[in-house]
Amino acid sequence: MAVKAARIWLKGKLSDQISWNVLYRAEKSALERYWLSNKVNDNLDVSIGLQKLKIYGWGRRLASGANSPILGQLLVLNPSLPSDSMAIDIVYKLAGTLSLTFIKDYYDTKAPCGLNRDDCKSWNKFDQQKQPAINFEWAGSFGSVQPLIQYGVYDIGKSSILTAGMRFKMDNLESHADYTVDTRLARGKDSAGLVEEQKETVSGMVIYGEYKLGNVSPFLLVSTLGVEQFTAPGGTQTKINTDGKIDDNGQTLGLGAFFEHWGSIYRPYTAVSRISGKYKNAATAAEEDRSRTDLMVGLVGKF
């Protein structure tokens, strides 16, 4: 048994226009997000600070998806554009909301970069923020139907991420579906040692549905993950995950229920999820399917 996450969200006002928000990650004893928001007028808001970026669709944007114990593998696989980052977010209300976000750009922190950064996989260097990453979002609002488009560019404009989603919401029903394509043009070298763009594509789908039946709200989550890795000319791509990880291909199926006896203030839940993917058998070198099943209980609360 392990604690997967424990978060505390605090918020308040400095004035009628300016508000503050702090999200504390208790199991890591760390601040996960903190930002200030300025309500310029009824249609315009500006936020600055370490905040959740508007990527990966409704499944990440909504509290129900973000707080659910089961996340799609597309979110579990760390994106090149961080899901939380220092940013300036400008939001304007128009047939829903339009958002333009300026973000501290991505740079490679995982590769064994040399002193001259010549081995880094990012075009942007850790000590040189040449330009911000930029993300655009339109979240439409047409009654029960709410379309969503998100598009971002990062790594000095070399890479991009696109999500198309749809939300359908009624009194007792919360449902949404998203499809994301993250196209990463990494910095690499060819066989002659010359710098080249090496394309990798991460794509995935998330479908979520929750229906309230009296004091119980059953929910279902289905997600997929696929990675098309860069392959040198004449090479072959092996579609297997690293042992203990889902970093190439995977599927998630989750079932659970929120208990609504205390309304939206306290929402205890129980859930079971099954994560599966393809791996390499260390003894035989053969490809095999593996899966893991988790049973979870928890509480989502508002104070």
Please tell me which of 36-45, 61-70, 292-301 the model is most confident about, judged by mean pLDDT: 36-45
Q: Which domain holds residue 239?
A: 40-301
Cα 73 from Cα 60, distance rounded (Å):
12
The pLDDT tens digits of the residues spanning 176-203 come to 999 999 998 888 888 888 888 889 888 8
CB 254 within 8 A of CB 286: no
Mean pLDDT over 249-273 rounds to 86
Quote the distance between the C-alpha of residue 36 and its chain's center.
Answer: 22
Distance CA 158, CA 184 (A): 7
Is the pLDDT at 250 greater than 80? The verdict is yes
Does one domain contain both 267 and 293? yes
What average pLDDT does this structure show over 60-84? 56
If asked whether residues 242 and 229 sit together in one domain, one would say: yes
Q: Structure pTM? A: 0.84
Co-location of 28 and 63 in the same domain: no
For range 11-24, the mean pLDDT: 92
Read off the CATH number of the domain in which 187 is found: 2.40.160.10
Q: Are residues 248 and 289 in the same domain?
A: yes
- Dist CA 204 CA 226 (whole Å): 6
Residue 235 has pLDDT above 70, yes or no: yes
71 pLDDT tier (thresholds 50, 70, 90): low
pLDDT band at 17 (very low <50, low <70, confident <90, very high): very high
What pLDDT is stored for residue 67 in this prediction? Answer: 42
Give me the chain's average pLDDT, please: 83
Considering the domain architecture, whether residues 14 and 102 belong to the same structural domain is answered as no
- Same-domain pairing of 89 and 231: yes
Query: Higher model confidence: residue 114 or residue 44?
Result: 44
Same domain? 256 vs 129: yes
Higher-pLDDT residue of 150 and 195 is: 150
Tell whether 84 and 212 lie within a shared domain.
yes
289 and 154 within one domain: yes
Q: What is the token pair recorded at 239?
A: 């579609």
In degrees and rounded to multiples of 5, residue 177 shows phi and psi of -140, 140
* 52 vs 167, more confident: 167
pLDDT band at 64 (very low <50, low <70, confident <90, very high): very low
Confidence of residue 46 (pLDDT cuts 50, 70, 90): very high
Question: What's the number of domains the chain is made of?
Answer: 2
Tokens at 172, concatenated: 């007792």
Residue 65 has pLDDT above 50, yes or no: no
Look at 7 and 173; give whichever has higher pLDDT: 173
Q: Do 146 and 239 share a domain, yes or no? A: yes
**Where are the extended beta strands (E) located within 43-122?**
44-52, 84-93, 96-103
Residues 161 and 201 in one domain: yes
Tokens of 302: 């508002």
The answer on pLDDT for 37 being more than 90 is yes
Instruction: Note whether 64 and 4 are same-domain residues.
Output: no
Which pLDDT band holds residue 228 (cuts at 50, 70, 90)?
confident
pLDDT at 2: 57
Dump pLDDT digits (tens) for 269-280: 898 988 888 888
